[in-house]
Structure formats: structure tokens, C-alpha cells
Amino acid sequence: MCSLKSMYYLGIDIGSSSVKAMVVDADGVPLAVTSASYPTSCPRPGHVEQDPDDWYRASCIALADLIRRAEIQPERIEGIGLSGTSHVSSLLDDDFKVIRPAILWSDQRSDLQVRQLAQEAGDLIVARTGNSINCTWSLPQITWLRQNEPEAFSRIRHILFSKDYLAYRLTGELTADPGSAVSSQLVDVHTLEWDQDLLRLAGLKLSCVSPIHSSTTIIGYLTREAARDLGLRQGVPVVSGMLDSAAELIGVGATGPSVGVIRLGSAGGVMTISWRPEWRKGCMLYPHPIQPLWYHQAGTNAATTSLKWAVRLFGIDRAGAPYSELDRLVGEVPAGADGLLFHPYLLGERAPFWNSYIRGGFSGVTMDHDRPSFLRAVLEGVAYSLRDCTVLLEWNAVSDIRICGGGAASRTWCQIIADVLGLPVCQMRLRDASAIGAALAAVAGCSGRELAEIAQARVKDSSRIEPDMKNHETYNSAFQRYREVAEQYLRIFSPQTTPTY
């Protein structure tokens, strides 16, 4: 038998553009992390899709590289945990084959179905799910499919949400965790069971959905085929895992209401933890992996997505320009970007508007603004959008704010967020919180230890950033202008003026 110190656990996170894989030891200490990308298809404006089998192929590539980087023996892997983006449906036929590409959370095509469902059963949906209906959720996406691709819809025999398709490819088991199930908007949050009325609205049978297991439950074991593809031994336990946002909470040690979390990933988000599954206007509600906790999330669609867009737009070689170089460029410009504003509504916007038609842009542009000015305006614009999110959440119990995600590698961006909010924040040193959260679920599920105990050990991995209150005054004034311009964008971009998807 392996000694405790020679046991290793994997976390696999299916993100919006790539899979991240991490290996940790029996104490949850990260040893190595790597990633592998996959394509995203936009066949029409507002349509955003991926091939679920690409997630599996990318996982195989990432794990081979991870084992090499970590310099560990594959047979020492004792468990695998999973996490993945929310609201993404994989549709399988009688032969368990994928019927069509998966529709992503950022897809905006289901606006008409959102309005139809809200009129038909809006009160029921809110009462059962604790969430308002919008284009992010699987329910309207599935309804769009039923109305627009009836042949494909008629072939659905099984539907898996988020990372649960990867779990199926690894184990051959059809399962869900509470978070992935709730992200479908087909579950009653009061019972955490599939709701027959909501399934009926989607046109689905109960037989199409899978049993729901806790995030640390061992749902199956690596099949011979998956073991061969991943370069691991057959029979490695796989735990159910969780949504990427839930994994981020675990990865930064957010195990109670005193901790708030800001995510700087492809999408941005602000999360607070509570004890009850209550509806909050403009927020999304999910079960926390540590029950009976819940968490609310207010999200902005384009965080690091906005930065990547701007870097590409201004011809900066991102591969050769790490965050330290971007920080240097942005540091040349004073707080407020000399009056330049950016609204990051490149993909429509979630909180606080939940409007798929609104569009972003720069305002206040003069001949004096240069490339660093525009880059700083982008960082500040995302920070203003995150401040918009915080207004929707309950902050009375929060005494500690932790920033994670790829964008947290920028010290300047974290400082801007602290200054815009006027609050101290903790910059987490380990950016890949979702991957480590998935790995810690594997540690807990396979060892029998408490997930909360393992997660809280991660708290030390942070750096506290105090707000510059002079900059906060500058940002308060700029934020008022930001909100006024946002209201103009809402009036300008409407169903009558924005192209229909």
C-alpha cells in the first residue's frame, strides 16, 4: 500500500476556453498545474457552442503534460475530482453519443424563450429554483432547441450538465452533483431533486436526467478505455465534483458567510455565502459544496475576456507580455484613466441588467489617450462592473474578500478593484482556484476527511491589498459617470435596434 505522503490526487476543471488540470498531495498542497485549450464555435451572432468530446480530448492532453511536469508515477494517483462551467448541457442519444454541440452559458439565442417562459411560468420558476429566468440557464436553452431543432431534440435520451459529461467519459456513469443539477434550472432548491413541472416546461422526461450525488461522493471508477487515454491505471476513483464557481470557493477556503469572493476569470463574478436558498434580484443561487450552505453570485460576462480582446485589438503579443508588463503599462496612467471609460458589455451583460442586447464601448475618448490609457480603462471598467455586482449582494456578514482567477495575477488589477470598492482585498497567490477546488474534493471523497477542513488550509496563500482612499474618491466620481453612460447604453441598445439572434 502507498504511504500517505506518496498519494496524489487530480483536479480537472472544464473552463470556458480550456481545461486545467492540477495534481495535489494528500494534504492538498499543489504540485503542478497545466492546461489545454479547445475551440469555441460561434456559428451565428449570439450563438456560443463547444463540442463536449473536445473537453475529453483536452483532458487527455493536459493530464499527460501534468504527470510529466509533476514528475510523479501515474500509478500513485489515488483519486480524481471534477469541476466545470455552469449551465452547459450535453445531449446524448440512445447510443450515448453527443447529438449536437453544447450551448454555453454566454449564449444569447434564447431571449425569446426567456420571455415566453417568464410569461407562462415565471413565478413558478422563481419559487422552485430561487433564480429568475434568463439566457444563461439551461431551461430556456433547451426550450430554444425544442422549438428550433425539433429533430435533434427528439433524439435526446440523456442530458448531462457541465462537467458531468466528462464524468461519464471517465467512468461510464450518468450522474450529477447538486450544483450542476441546479444550474439546469430544472431542480427544486428546497428538496435538491429534479422537479417534474420544470422538466415538463423543458419538454423532458425524468428518465433523461441523472441521479444527484454530493460533491465528494465517489460516483465511479476509471474505465479501461479512459485509463488508457489518460495514461493512468484502471479503477482510480472519480468523485462527483462541483461547478467551477463552487470549486473556486473551496479553492480559496470560502467555507462560511464571513468570506466573499471575487473571480477574475473569462467571466467575472462576486460571490457571498448564506445559510438559506433565497431569491435575490439580479443574482444566481447555487448550493455550496459544504451543505447546508448556499451562495449567491452576481456575474459580469466579460472580465479577462475584455482584457484579452483589448490586448489583441491593440496588437500586444500576450504570450510575450505577462501581467507584469501590462501592470507596467497601466501604471503609467493615473486612476480614472484621464476620463476614459470602458463598459465591458462585449457579450451583453448579466448583473445588474440581465440584458442580452446591451453593448459595450469606450467613451470620453480624446486625442490625448494612448494605448496604456485604453488598457487601464478596460481594467477599471471591469472593476466598475464588479462594483455593480456587489450592490446586489448581502455584505453585512463579509469581513474578508478574496480575489482569484487568471486576472488575479495582476497586482495592479487587484489594487484597482480594492480602490474602486474602497475595501481591502486578498490576492490569492494560487490563481487556479477551480482546479484546486476539484482536487480537494477528490482528497475529501477518497480519504474520508472533511472538505471544509481541507479547504481552510488554503487561506494562508494570499496577499492583503489595502485600498488607496484618494483613488477611491476618484473612482467614486468616475463610477457615477459609468452608471450614467450605462443607462444610455440600455436605451440605445434594445430588441428594436440590436440584431436578432
Three-state secondary structure readout of 111-134: HHHHHHHHHHHHHHHHHHHCCCCC
The pLDDT value given to residue 501: 41
Task: List pLDDT tens digits, range 101-136.
Answer: 999 998 989 999 999 999 999 999 999 999 999 999
- Reduced to 3 states, what is the DSSP secondary structure of residue 45? coil
pLDDT at 144 over 90: yes
Only one residue has cell 453570485, namely: 297
Query: Each residue of 1-37: pLDDT tens digit?
Result: 444 557 999 999 999 889 999 999 999 999 999 999 9
Instruction: Give the span between the Cα atoms of 196 and 151, in whole angstroms.
Output: 23
Reported as a single tens digit per residue, the pLDDT across 166-175 is: 999 999 999 9
Rounded to 5 degrees, what are φ and ψ at 24?
-125, 160
Does residue 215 register a pLDDT over 80?
yes
- CATH of the domain spanning 8-240, picked from 3.20.10.10, 3.30.420.40, 3.90.105.10, 3.40.50.80: 3.30.420.40
Please, are residues 429 and 319 in contact by the beta-carbon 8 Å criterion? Answer: no
Cβ-count burial of 500 within 10 angstroms (0-12 exposed, 13-18 middle, 19+ buried)?
exposed
pLDDT tens for residues 226-272?
Answer: 999 999 999 999 999 999 999 999 999 999 999 999 999 889 999 99
Cell 507596467 -> residue: 328
Q: Which residue ranges does the chain devote to CATH 3.30.420.40?
A: 8-240, 253-500
pLDDT digits (tens, 9 = 90+) for 39-64: 999 999 889 999 999 999 999 999 99
Give the model's confidence band at 500: pLDDT under 50 very low, under 70 low, under 90 confident, else very high.
very low
pLDDT at position 176 over 90? yes
Q: Is the pLDDT of residue 459 over 80?
A: no
Q: Band of the pLDDT at 499, cuts 50, 70, 90?
A: low
The three-state (H, E, C) secondary structure of 239-286, written as one string: ECCEEHHHHHHHHCCCCCCCEEEEEECCCEEEEEEECCCCCCCCCEEE
Region 280-297: mean pLDDT is 96
Encode pLDDT of 319-352 as tens digits. Answer: 555 788 899 999 999 999 999 999 999 988 999 9
Q: Domain 253-500's class? A: alpha beta
Please name which of 352, 363, 331 lies closest in space to residue 478, comparing C-alpha atoms.
363
Rounded mean pLDDT, 88-100: 98
- Average pLDDT in the 280-291 region? 96
Q: For residue 315, is pLDDT > 90?
A: no
* pLDDT at residue 494, rounded to an integer: 78
Closest CA to 437 of 77, 61, 17, 84: 84
- Can you tell me the distance from the alpha carbon of 125 to that of 146, in angstroms, rounded to the nearest whole number? 19
Say if residue 212's pLDDT is above 70: yes
State the DSSP code for 212: B
For residue 104, the 8-state DSSP code is P
First and final C-alpha spacing in the chain: 57
The per-residue pLDDT for range 219-234, each reduced to its tens digit, is 999 999 999 999 999 9
What is the pLDDT of the chain when averaged over all its residues? 94
φ and ψ at residue 299, rounded to 5 degrees:
-120, 150
CA 249, chain centre distance (Å): 11
pLDDT at 389: 96
How many CB atoms lie under 10 A from the CB of residue 396? Answer: 7
Residue 98 is classified by DSSP as: B
HEC sequence for 364-428: CCCCCCCHHHHHHHHHHHHHHHHHHHHCCCCCCCCCEEEEECHHHHCHHHHHHHHHHHCCCEEEE
**Number of CB atoms found within 10 A of residue 1's CB:** 5
pLDDT at res. 419: 98
Grid cell for residue 354: 440581465
In sequence order, which ranges of 83-195 are alpha helices (DSSP H)?
A: 111-129, 138-148, 150-154, 164-171, 178-182
